[in-house]
Homo-oligomer: A and B are copies of this chain.
Amino acid sequence: MRVAVNGYGTIGKRVADAVLQQKDMDLAGVTKTRPDFGAKVAESRRIPMYSVFPDRINDFEKRGLSIQGCLGDLISKTDVVVDCTPAGVGRTYRESYARHGSKGIFQGGEEADVAEVTFVAQCNYESAVGKRFVRVASCNTTGLCRTLSTVDRSLGIGEVHASLVRRAVDPFDSTRGPIDAIVPSCSSVPTHHSKDVREVLPHLRILTMAVTVPTKIMHVHMIAARLSREVSQDEAIDVLEATPRTLVLDGRDRLESTSKVMELGRDLGRRRNDMWETVVWEDTITTSDHWLCWTQGVHQEAIVIPEVIDAIRAVFDSVDAETSMNMTDRALGIFQSRF
């Protein structure tokens, strides 16, 4: 499978690296709009680079960067484009991907109707098989769907309340806030995450609220799920441990904050310190009446990367869900259940 990555930003550069680590995929190239540090990083990693805009090829060459052509040239050489353009921009490229006979994988920043299906590998891999356009769920939605689908399958969920505490910006971003403020999500309650989760898990009754806080890495979700029966704390821990791509953090490891979880990512020697796993703080797993509560964290830059890789295999119907997820997890070094 020849894969192109349109947009070499937060998600695109991670997708490109993950594609390079898969034995069954080739990276045809990535696109850049400007010859900035990202373009130099791509060149240093010998990744073929294409200019999004034909009239800017010169700008790259003036900086001594080699450009293989423009976006159209790249698409015509590939089987699938992973669209990693800014939120809302992906839609404008859809016809162009189709015209070149290429499939397209979009990100959660696009509206759901950009694609035929919104995708989380462990939830609905099969429904993406053979499709032309697939949208990978957003980071928050992916994190929610991973644990909720497993808890639902194992214990039966009546309804869910999830309160999201969102990081303000990505680490590189020095242009926006908030600083020293908590910003409630006022524009719509329930927030769009309810709707997004139901794109993947249509039957789930979920109510989401959100605030944004001055941190740069990891969203945190406080979740309360009403179960169809009472369960013990041990049973709940077992279920969350068995959740694919989900790491239950042992209290004795003292990883009790988002910054400590990211320190683990640094110590593991992972490129960019990425944590692809949803993390669940074990000490927060509690049962009360029919409610199961837990608090989980999502590294917003990284969590969707394995899903993108699986989505590529799904649209080409190359292997089944379990095989694809195993291949992806082994290639990236994703933990199962415990560190």
Interface set of A (CB-CB < 8 Å, partner B): 161, 163, 165, 167, 178, 180-187, 189-190, 207, 209-211, 213-218, 220, 222, 224, 251, 256-260, 281, 283-286, 288, 291, 293, 295, 297
Contact = CB atoms under 8 A, between A and B. Distances in A.
A181 B288 contact: no
Contacts of A297: 182, 184
B224 A186 contact: no
A111 B210 CA distance: 31
Contact of A224 (B180, B207, B281): B207
Select the residue from A189, A251, A283 with max chain B CB neighbours within 10 A. Answer: A189
A147 B178 CA distance: 27
Given A165-B165, A165-B211, A215-B180, A189 B258 contact: no
Given A178-B259, A189-B284, A284-B209, A184 B215 contact: no
A257 B163 contact: no
A331 to B, nearest CB: 30
Given A161-B161, A295-B209, A182 B222 contact: no
Contacts of A180: 214-217, 259
A184 B288 contact: no
B281 A186 contact: yes
A37 to B, nearest CB: 22
B222 A257 contact: no
Contacts of A216: 180
Nearest to A291: B207
Contacts of A210: 222
A190 B286 contact: yes
A148 to B, nearest CB: 16
A222 B166 CA distance: 13
B189 A257 contact: no
A189 B286 contact: yes
A184 B286 contact: no
A316 to B, nearest CB: 38
A182 B286 contact: no
A186 B220 contact: no
A189 B284 CA distance: 6
A211 B220 contact: yes
Contact of A163 (B163, B213, B258, B286): B163
Contacts of A218: 182
Given A214-B214, A293-B209, A186 B259 contact: no
A165 B213 contact: yes
A251 B187 CA distance: 9
B220 A257 contact: no
Contacts of A222: 163, 184, 209-211
Contacts of A285: 189
Nearest to A184: B295
A257 B207 contact: no
Contact of A257 (B183, B259, B295): B183
Nearest to A217: B180
A283 B211 contact: no
A255 to B, nearest CB: 10
18 contacts: A165-B165, A165-B211, A165-B213, A182-B257, A182-B258, A183-B256, A184-B256, A184-B284, A186-B283, A186-B284, A187-B283, A189-B283, A190-B288, A207-B224, A211-B222, A211-B295, A213-B214, A214-B214
